[in-house]
Structure 1
Amino acid sequence: MLWPFNHFRKPRSPLRGTIEAIYGMIVTQAREPSFYRAMAVPDTVNGRFDLLLLHLWLVLRRLKSAAGGAALSQALFDHFCNDMDDNLREMGVGDLTVPKKMQAFGEAFYGRTAAYDLALTGGREALAQALCKNILNGEHIEKAGRLAAYAEAAIAALDGLDDAALLGGSAKFPVPDRVDSGQ
């Protein structure tokens, strides 16, 4: 006899498919080889995490202005947290250590997003400085300028989308190698 344990599971969110599509787009873009090859992003766990945070920030920033974006923003952030938790556990991090690591991830996310938001008000040079500090370990300021140009192009591309395209999970990031840095 089969016991109906379905009532113990969390109900499937109607946003789940959209969240998975948007998060998949973010992760795929953060893995784009040209960031590591041409923009000096360290090809390390930390470098990949920092690029993931950058792209998550870009999307969450745009969702703030979208009709219905608040619920999607929260669901996207929750998905990110669940993914980080799952990754820690897959890497063998113990149950007692996971909460500490998750707290560190949260602090990194909020610290970087605050720095990037503030830097946006100061122009490309300020954004390049923030990206250099947080992603490039304080090195390669010239590469940080390219990364800042990319972030500005991504902001423009996301801002140019109508809400339906964004909320439908069909947004696209610019190709990093094709962004003109103005240098």
Structure 2
Amino acid sequence: MQQGLTQLGAKNMAFPEKTMIFGLFGKKNNNQAIVERQYQALTSAARMPDFYERLNVPDTVMGRFEMLSVVMILFFRRTRASATSGQEIAQEIVDAFFEDIDHSIRELGIGDNSVPKRMKKLAGMFYGRLEAYSNAMDTSDPTALAAALSRNVHPKAAHAVDMGGLADWMFAAEAYLSAQSEDVVATGSATLPNVA
């Protein structure tokens, strides 16, 4: 399952405690095939070239982290109202995401003593994005979502970068996911749309 961030192109109040993500690293995955299938679909979606060629996402390690965070957040939002099995699968998928990050950090040769601190920082980034994007999406505010995306995807830009196209895709993707049945989610077969 591990692909590393170099290959890869939530929790708000509705979800369990953030620290749960690290507690499941060693858990035996009883739904391994389902989780791997869904995780592969999400990572494939995050690598779609149009994000990097048309929607102002930088084609860098951090740009791909941002896009994978986006698709993970969308999937988590879809599973909030799902049956327990769907929520458990979502949690295991996000655990796999952080396992990939952990693996990627170690592949870069970063010392073991530094990994937990970096993981904590990246987890904080992920959950901060979940909160910001969810707030904008819950209020159907594409302008606020685009602004949040600009801050996160282009943190060093002197001026705001237009992320309206990605914001529009996120709203469309949420509707696309919502239309998929619980059976689709429970079997790890949920998909995300192409960029229009």
TM-score, length basis structure 1: 0.85
Give the corresponding residue for 2:165.
146
Distance 1:132 1:124 in 2: 12
Report the AA paired with residue 113 of structure 1.
L
Counterpart among 112, 116, 122 of residue 129 in structure 2: 112
Distance 1:136 1:166 in 2: 32
Give the corresponding residue for 2:14.
none
Size of the aligned set, in residue pairs, is 166
Q: Does 1:167 align with 2:186?
A: yes
Q: Does 1:48 align with 2:64?
A: yes
| Deviation string, structure 1 residues 16-67 (Cα, Å, up to 9, x no partner) | 1111111111111111111110011111111110001001000011111111
Distance 2:27 2:87 in 1: 20
Report the AA paired with residue 48 of structure 1.
R
CA 78–11 in structure 1, closer or farther in 2 if over 3 Å, else same: closer
Distance 2:101 2:62 in 1: 12
| Deviation string, structure 1 residues 88-112 (Cα, Å, up to 9, x no partner) | 1112111111101100111001100
CA 154–90 in structure 1, closer or farther in 2 if over 3 Å, else same: same
Answer yes or no: is the 8 Å Cα contact 2:42–2:191 preserved in 1.
no
Structure with max Cα Rg? 1
Greater helix percent: which structure? Answer: 1
Report the AA paired with residue 161 of structure 2.
H
SS of structure 1 residue aligned to 2:58: coil
Instruction: Name the % identity.
Output: 36
Which 4+ stretches in 1 moved above 6 angstroms?
none
Structure 1 range deviating more: 70-79 or 165-174: 70-79
Give the corresponding residue for 2:7.
none
The alpha carbon displacement at 1:11 in A equals 7.3
Distance 2:164 2:43 in 1: 22
Distance 1:109 1:11 in 2: 21
Give the corresponding residue for 1:33.
49
Give the corresponding residue for 1:135.
153
Please, which runs of 5 or more residues in structure 2 have no aligned partner?
1-25
TM-score, length basis structure 2: 0.80
Distance 1:129 1:20 in 2: 33
Q: What do you get for the CA RMSD once the two structures are aligned?
A: 1.5
Answer yes or no: is the 8 Å Cα contact 1:40–1:136 preserved in 2.
no
Higher RCO structure, 1 or 2 (CA under 8 Å, sep 6+):
2
